[in-house]
């Protein structure tokens, strides 16, 4: 959307499955079957734009990844790390709750993996994550992804770009020339 409109994108933390332990959890068989189905709408939508999605057996804990993202925001690399976390999870099929994947994503984002790990292990960024979680709860958010546009329009799930374009036009977002 930033190609088409002058908009600001801000990533926020949200735990889809807050009870997931740090080591992750095995996916339930019914969910695993839906994810691996050739009719999975998310996989079909990804394929339409040339992306391949990896299959997963484990639900990762995103606690460390969210803290790493807060740290990366503070050093001006939040967007780069977010992109790499998504790539490592969705494309490479890595467990972004574990240090090897987090460190690799940090490196690929141009960050110092050791500094990132030290920051996360310090717990300094947990309060910022907790604020995001409280705000999501207050807004009634319960899906990933959820996009809030103009502080009044919520869009849940992966949607076609035209859905966003329509709402941005309604909100009076400035189109780029």
pLDDT per residue as tens digits for the range 119-165:
999 999 999 999 999 999 998 898 888 888 877 778 888 788 888 88
Element of type H or E holding 43: helix 41-48
In terms of Cβ atoms closer than 10 Å to its own Cβ (0-12, 13-18, 19+), residue 94 is buried
Domain 25-170 - what CATH class?
Answer: alpha beta
Asked whether the predicted pLDDT for residue 167 surpasses 90, the reply is: no
Asked whether the predicted pLDDT for residue 60 surpasses 70, the reply is: yes
Q: Which residue has the tokens 């076609």?
A: 160
Asked whether the predicted pLDDT for residue 110 surpasses 90, the reply is: yes
Whole-structure pTM value: 0.88
* Residue 97: band (very low, low, confident or very high) from pLDDT cuts 50, 70, 90: very high
**Least confident range of 71-80, 108-117, 134-143:** 134-143
Mean pLDDT, residues 166-177: 84
The three-class DSSP label of residue 150 is coil
Strands 153-156 and 146-149: antiparallel
Asked whether the predicted pLDDT for residue 13 surpasses 80, the reply is: yes
Q: Please report, for residues 83, 86, 115, 119, 135, the alpha-carbon distance to residue 90 in angstroms, rounded to integers and kept in the order given.
A: 10, 6, 24, 25, 26
* Residue 1: band (very low, low, confident or very high) from pLDDT cuts 50, 70, 90: low
């Amino acid at each position: 959307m930033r190609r088409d409109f002058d908009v600001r994108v801000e990533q926020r933390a949200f735990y889809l499955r807050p009870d997931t332990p740090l080591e992750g959890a095995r996916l339930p068989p019914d969910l695993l079957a839906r994810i691996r189905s050739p009719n999975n709408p998310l996989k079909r939508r990804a394929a339409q734009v040339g992306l391949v999605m990896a299959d997963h057996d484990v639900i990762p804990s995103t606690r460390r990844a969210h803290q790493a993202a807060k740290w990366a925001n503070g050093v001006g690399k939040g967007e780069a790390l977010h992109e790499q976390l998504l790539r490592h999870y969705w494309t490479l099929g890595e467990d972004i709750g574990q240090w090897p994947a987090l460190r690799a994503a940090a490196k690929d984002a141009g960050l110092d993996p050791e500094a990132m790990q030290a920051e996360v292990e310090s717990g300094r960024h947990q309060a910022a994550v907790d604020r995001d979680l409280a705000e999501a709860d207050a807004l009634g958010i319960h899906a990933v992804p959820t996009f809030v546009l103009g502080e009044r329009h919520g869009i849940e799930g992966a949607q076609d770009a035209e859905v966003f374009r329509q709402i941005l036009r309604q909100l009076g977002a400035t189109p780029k020339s």
